[in-house]
Amino acid sequence: MTKLAQLQAAVAKQGLDVAYLSDPMTINYLTGFYSDPVERTLALLVFPDQDPFLFAPALEVEAIKESGWTKPVYGYLDHENPYALIAAQVKQRVANPQKWGAELGYLTVARLRGLTDQFPTAHFDVDLTPVIEQMRLIKSADEIAKLDEAGKWADFAFEVGFQAVKAGVSEQAVVAELEYALKKKGIMAMSFDTLVQAGAHAAEPHGATSERKIKENEMVLFDLGTVYQGYISDASRTVAVGKLNAKQQEIYDVCLEAQLKAQAAAKPGITAAELDKVARDVIDQAGYGEYFIHRLGHGMGMSEHEFPSIMEGNDLVLEPGMCFSIEPGIYIPGVAGVRIEDCVHITEDGCQPFTHTSKELRTL
C-alpha cells in the first residue's frame, strides 16, 4: 500500500469527510513533491473514498506534474482567493463536508479563517499530526537507501572539511570549502547550517559557525548533514589540531565511550529512555554529567525533527526501521566542547549507522 493509500485508510477509519494537509514535509512524504510555498497556499486534500488532489500556486503546477504526480492538481494566481478555489473542488467531491482533519500546527489562524469562511459550519478539530508522525516513524527499505546515500555525502564532507582545518583558518572558511566541494558534486542542499566550532566556542552546542580562527592545540567540532532526494544526514565529529592536554583528551574519550556503548546497545526491544541512559551513565560516572545538556538523540528521515526522541521519559520500544541520532556531548563552558554523532536505523538485531567516518580521535 502506498503512503497516500495508508493515509486515506486512516482518514476513512476516523470518519472524516476530508483531510487538509499543508505541512510541506508531509506533502513531500506523501506525494514525492517538495516545495516550501512560504506565504502562499500549498495543500493536499485527501478523501475517504475518492482520489486526492493537490492545490498549489500556479507557478508550482508544472513542477508538480514533472515530479510524477498523476492525480489532479489545481493552481491559483496571486490575486485569487485560494480557499474559494479549494472549496469549489472539495464541494464537487463532498457536497457538505463537516468533519475535517488537518495538521493543526500548520493551520495558522489566518489559514483556518480562509477555510471556515468557505465552510462556516464545518469542524476543524481533528489533528492528523499523530497519524503522520506514526507513519514516518518506521522507514521503508527505499527510505533507508536514501538515508544511506545522504550519509555517504556527509562522510565525503567530513573528509574535505578535515583537509581544510589548520591553525589560522577560520571556522567559516572550513565550512565554505566543504560545502563548495559538495555543490561541485551536485549535492545542493545541507540539512541545516553546517557547524564548525573551534576550541571553547564548541561548548555552545547551538552556537553558529563564526569568523573565529582555529588555533593550535584545540579541538574542532563539526556537525553537518546533506540532503539526498528529500532525505537527510546528520553527523558530528570532533577532531584535534596539534596536541591536546589531558582534560581535552579525557572528555573526548568519555564522549566516545558513551557514543560507542549506546550505538552497541541500540536494538529492537530497548526503550528510548533506556538507550539515553546507557550513554548518560558513562558520562555521569566519569563526572561530566552536568555538561551533557541535551537528549541523546532525535528521530530523523526527511527532517531532523521526527520521532523517536531518545530521551528520559520516552518509554517507546525501539523497532526495526526506526531512525535516529546517537549524539552524546560534553560542553564545558570556556574550555571545550565535544560531540560525536551518528544517525542509525534499527535492524532486526542491532543498528546500522548511515555515516562511517572513523570516530577514533583524529589529529590534524
Asked whether position 342 contacts Mn ion by CB under 5 A, the answer is no
**Residue 236 or 355 having the CB closest to Mn ion:** 236
CB of 326 to Mn ion, least distance (A): 9
Alpha-carbon distance 181 to 343, whole Å?
22
Asked whether position 17 contacts Mn ion by CB under 5 A, the answer is no
**Residue 97 or 301 having the CB closest to Mn ion:** 301
**Residue 42 or 326 having the CB closest to Mn ion:** 326
- Could you say which of 31, 248, 325, 355 contacts Mn ion (CB under 5 A)? 325
Number of residues that bind Mn ion (CB under 5 A): 4
Asked whether position 26 contacts Mn ion by CB under 5 A, the answer is no
CB of 298 to Mn ion, least distance (A): 6
**Residue 17 or 341 having the CB closest to Mn ion:** 341
Asked whether position 234 contacts Mn ion by CB under 5 A, the answer is yes
CB of 213 to Mn ion, least distance (A): 23
CB of 327 to Mn ion, least distance (A): 5
Asked whether position 223 contacts Mn ion by CB under 5 A, the answer is yes
Q: Which stretch binds Mn ion (CB under 5 A): 48-56, 114-122, 231-239, 328-336?
A: 231-239
**Residue 103 or 223 having the CB closest to Mn ion:** 223
CB of 235 to Mn ion, least distance (A): 6
Asked whether position 276 contacts Mn ion by CB under 5 A, the answer is no
Q: Which stretch binds Mn ion (CB under 5 A): 52-60, 64-72, 235-243, 306-314?
A: 235-243
Q: Applying CB under 5 A, which residues contact Mn ion?
A: 223, 234, 236, 325
